[in-house]
Amino acid sequence: MEGDCLSCMKYLMFLFNFFIFLGGACLLGVGIWVIVDPTGFREIVAANPLLFTGAYIMLAMGAMLFLLGFLGCCGAIRENKCLLLFFFMFILLIFLAELSAAILAFIFRENLTREFFTKELKKHYLRNNDTDVFSSTWNSVMITFACCGVNGPEDFEAITHLPYSSLEKVIPEACCQRELQSREGRFVNKEACLTGVERFQNRQGCYTVILNSFETYVYLAGALAIGVLAIELFAMIFAMCLFRGIQ
């Protein structure tokens, strides 16, 4: 009876570690995509140090889970106590790190609010000055997502200390509609846009556009994170039980 129980636990341990292996591969893939993605999401992440750090943390955690899932599978099948103990200690450290990251993300969530981004935009944005990293990043975001400001073109009305061109009245040229959503894309009608003709302007705020674009993925990422934490917890329990059961 005890042998059957140990055998069942061994294969359950293998199954849980296989899911950890897959979860690590998913996190690794998402982390790589965020860092190398050429469509503009990388620039959004780079604009916020917290998000930029988070992308590399996701990459590192994915790589560690990928490796530990593999080690856990080997330890379970071979019934190797050393591998199981090594697996348990490292999966515990990763579990605690992920839990700490989730708590910090909850505590600092106000840094990602509409009001925070609006304040930062009005304080640091220098329109078409591409030598300034903040302004260049915002321009890339507005062009890529066909949006304007955080809430809309009205965000730029309060930025009175900026240099204006002879045409530019309120909005920067990054808010003007383009045939292709990239810096190389041709303007639909740049002169009309900059003189205030609304039908040639992107009127929707970037906060709403980006939130709507990634809302599904945010929930998916949250569900994936909860699933990974649950699997890690069960894997630690099975690892310790299997460790104690091996003679």
Mean pLDDT along residues 67-91: 81
Task: Please state which of the ranges 5-9, 86-90, 234-238 shows the lowest mean pLDDT.
Answer: 5-9
CA 135, CA 60: separation in Å to the nearest integer?
30
Confidence of residue 166 (pLDDT cuts 50, 70, 90): very low
Cβ–Cβ < 8 Å for 84, 75: yes
- At residue 165, the pLDDT reads 46
CA angle 26, 32, 33 (to 5 degrees): 90
**What are the boundaries of each domain within the chain?**
1-111+222-245, 114-204
CA 156, CA 159: separation in Å to the nearest integer?
5
**Residue 162 CB neighbours (<10 A):** 14
Contacts of 198 (CB under 8 A, 6+ apart): none
Mean pLDDT, the chain, whole residue set? 78
Of 77, 62, 65, the C-alpha closest to 9 is 77
- Given a cut of 80, whether residue 41 has pLDDT beyond it is no
Task: Please state which of the ranges 1-15, 55-69, 92-106, 124-138 shows the lowest mean pLDDT.
Answer: 1-15
Most confident of 20-24, 101-105, 166-170: 20-24
**Residue 124 CB neighbours (<10 A):** 13
Render pLDDT for 135-148 as a digit per residue (tens, 0 to 9).
888 888 898 888 99
